[in-house]
Amino acid sequence: MRNLVAVPVILLTVILQSAVISRVYLLSGIADLPLVMLAAWALQDGVDSAWHWAIATGLLIGFISGISWVVPVAGYVSVVLLAYMFQRRVWQAPLLAMFSITFIGTIIVSLLSVGVLQLTGVVLPISDVLGLVMLPGVLLNMLLAIPVYAVMRDLARWVYPAPEVE
Amino acid sequence: MRNLFPRTLQTTIIFLIVGGIMALALGGYFSSASNEFTGSLVEIQAWFSARFLAVQDFFTSPRDIASLRQRNAELESEVAELQAQVIQLQQAVGETQLLAALVDFVRVRPENTYRAAAVIGRDPSPFLHYVIINRGSNEGILRGMPVVTNQGLIGRVDAVIADAARVQLITDPASSVNVRLQNAETEASLIGSVTGDLMLEMIQQDIDVQQGDLVLTSGLGGGYPPDLIIGQVVNVRSREVDLFKQATVQPVVDFNLLKIVLVIVNFKPVDFDALLPVPTP
């Protein structure tokens, strides 16, 4: 039953991404709210359903977007995988982990997008991709990281309350 | 009689003295003394008046400030409501102007049938240039239908569901539109890019392309109806080593401000798949 909270959260995130975030440009880059949301959710203690969230969000984004559904699904699953790795093995500072996952995850999703588009015959100049799309996108995602992390932390505490210590 | 005289004399003398003093005063001979006197009186009265007003303010001002504050809050609230109304009316005026322009566009092109749709979203990927509109197959929208605004061509329908559709803009890097240059009377291919810039390619070297030339759809290939305005040539690049010239096109439509678009629903794009040769084993 706890996973039912994913339905409104994912829907709201995807709607916000398509209706609002995608209209806010920095050069030619835009923020990726679902990616940041998934990274923040996967970093929370006790959360074990981030895989399902990533697949569901990726399929929904793939349905809306003109790009192949493989890109968002693979990209978001990679982000969750990164978050689990950082959370369990490397970092103890959650915000630092959040920034790192956002940075690496944005680059992974961008490279996947470029790769798939190149395979389908779309010509993308690497200089434009790097300077005008990827780096502004990384910056915008970094700006979103802290507020989204705070929101997802509160949501995780509500969904997975800490056990009372006697 | 003896008593009467001195009394009458006294009264007369008093009148004379008073009359004399008044005459002297009116004549200005006592001005310094009278000024001193009246000045003192005025100062005393002013002192009392000031103290009275101070006391009166002390008792009445708090009530006035409270009422003024309340009135100020009411007026500020009213101003905020009016400002909100102004913004709503400005939005309504903007939409009305946009719709009027679209109606004018439809009137001058009666050969086409249009379906108006609102832009409700954009593609979540920064590498693609698509918009999502709020009309779908329930309203007769089909894949491949051209989409325009009152200014010119914006793209064509790429995918459709019941109540929404995805439109591939001509600025998309995967988009290719066959166009003609009105002044040069030549045809070329218009390609989008990841940054949203439009490039004209496949222009023959011997064709004279000038800055400001109008770019229109040619209709070649059957993907778009002919003579839809796209933009103007702003820059031409020609090198002798290249087979073709290139040109940058400034679109007439501002793709960042798309709100309402028109789908040409009576245009059937030509499907060339049936004409392609099938490889035989």
**CA dist., res. B266 & res. A152, Å (int):** 48
We report the CATH number of the domain holding residue A41 as: 1.10.1760
CA distance readout (Å), B53 to A26, A40, A87, B57: 63, 67, 74, 6
Helix (H, G, I), strand (E, B) or coil at A75: helix
pLDDT at B33 over 80: no
Question: What sign has the CA pseudo-torsion A128, A104, A113, B263?
Answer: negative
Residue B246 CB contacts under 8 Å (≥ 6 apart), including other chains: B199, B200, B201, B203, B236, B237, B238
What tokens were used for A121? Answer: 């015959």
**CA dist., res. B136 & res. B161, Å (int):** 5
Domains of chain B: 8-81 (no CATH), 114-268 (2.40.10.340)
The shortest C-alpha distance from B122 to chain A (Å) reads: 5
The shortest C-alpha distance from A129 to chain B (Å) reads: 7
The chain A residues in contact with chain B (CB within 8 A) are 14-15, 17-19, 21-23, 25, 27-30, 32, 34, 61, 64-67, 71-72, 110, 113-114, 117, 120-125, 128-129, 132-133, 137
Which of B81, B82, B167 has the alpha carbon at shortest distance from B121? B167
Q: Are B124 and A123 a contacting pair at CB < 8 A? A: no
**B29 falls in which pLDDT band (50, 70, 90)?**
confident
In a domain, A40, yes or no: yes
Helix (H, G, I), strand (E, B) or coil at A29: strand
In a domain, A164, yes or no: no
Higher per-residue pLDDT: B256 or B30: B256
**B63 falls in which pLDDT band (50, 70, 90)?**
low
Q: Domains in chain A: how many in total?
A: 1
CA distance readout (Å), A41 to A46, A93, B221: 10, 15, 48
In a domain, A166, yes or no: no
The ipTM, to two decimals, is 0.88
Each residue's pLDDT tens digit, A110-155:
999 999 999 988 888 888 889 899 999 999 999 999 999 999 989 9
Report pLDDT for B273.
Answer: 67
Q: Are B166 and A28 a contacting pair at CB < 8 A? A: no
Report pLDDT for B241.
Answer: 79
Report pLDDT for A93.
Answer: 73
In a domain, A165, yes or no: no
CA distance readout (Å), A22 to A72, B122, B137, B194: 15, 6, 25, 14
**Inter-chain contacts counted by CB atoms under 8 A, chains A and B:** 85
DSSP state of A28: T
CA atoms within 13 A on the CB side of A132: 15
Q: What is the mean pLDDT of chain A?
A: 88
Residues in a beta bridge with B198: B249
Give the strand pairing for B114-122 and B130-133: antiparallel
What tokens were used for B197? Answer: 């810039």
**CA dist., res. B202 & res. B190, Å (int):** 9
**A165 falls in which pLDDT band (50, 70, 90)?**
low
Domain of A68, in residue numbers: 2-159
CA distance readout (Å), B117 to A36, B137, B170: 31, 12, 18
Each residue's pLDDT tens digit, B114-155:
898 999 999 999 999 999 999 988 888 999 999 998 888 999
The shortest C-alpha distance from B121 to chain A (Å) reads: 4
Interface test with B, best of A17, A28, A57 (most B CBs within 10 A): A28
